[in-house]
Amino acid sequence: MENFEPIIVAFCCHYCAYTAADMAGSKRLSYPPNVKIIKAPCSGKIDAIHIMQALQKGADGVYVAGCLEGDCHFKSGNTRAAQRVSYIKKLLEEIGIEGERVEMFTMSAGMGERFAEVATEFTEKIRKMGPNPIKRAAKAAC
């Protein structure tokens, strides 16, 4: 537990969060290496199953980062993504996994600081929560 390094999967929209990550990089803003970024053409393209499978395959936390409200390149992809995230939260709670392991964030392409901040805060939150319970159980079984 002491040296627990969470695995975080961040699904990032090409039009905002992914560019914001670039911006963070070019501004030399540091954020935890725990965050594995997966680029998506739109946050709305991230299906519920992608989030579920990320967790199933060992992620400790997953977040979707899309455009600011009203700024989706495809009009409403980000609101759909937010709806899916809240659906997955409920589903996870139903099987006894904390819904907080999944979040939705919004930002614009220029918000490098916000990207780094979100990545840091989310990683710290998951670090405090501890490993994904399905991994804990597997470890206990060993």
Residue 35 and residue 43: Cα distance in Å, rounded?
17
Return the number of the residue (1 or 140) whose C-beta is nearest another protein. Answer: 140
Nearest residue to 35 (alpha-carbon basis) of 47, 20, 15: 20
Residue ranges of E strands in the chain: 8-13, 35-40, 61-66, 102-106
Return the number of the residue (30 or 53) whose C-beta is nearest another protein. Answer: 53
Return the number of the residue (29 or 91) whose C-beta is nearest another protein. Answer: 91
For strand 61-66 and strand 102-106, is the pairing parallel, antiparallel, or unpaired?
parallel
Which of 25, 32, 99, 133 touches another protein by CB under 8 A? Answer: 133
Question: Residue 100 class from Cβ within 10 Å (0-12 exposed, 13-18 middle, 19+ buried)?
Answer: middle
Question: Residue 28 class from Cβ within 10 Å (0-12 exposed, 13-18 middle, 19+ buried)?
Answer: exposed
Binding mask 84-103 for another protein (x = CB under 8 A): -------x--xxxx------
Return the number of the residue (16 or 85) whose C-beta is nearest another protein. Answer: 85
Which of 5, 22, 47, 69 touches another protein by CB under 8 A? Answer: 47
Amino acid at site 59: A
Q: Does 56 sit near another protein (CB under 8 A)?
A: yes
Minimum Å gap between C-beta 105 and another protein is 22
List residues near another protein by CB under 8 A. Answer: 47-49, 52-53, 55-56, 91, 94-97, 133-134, 137-138, 140-141
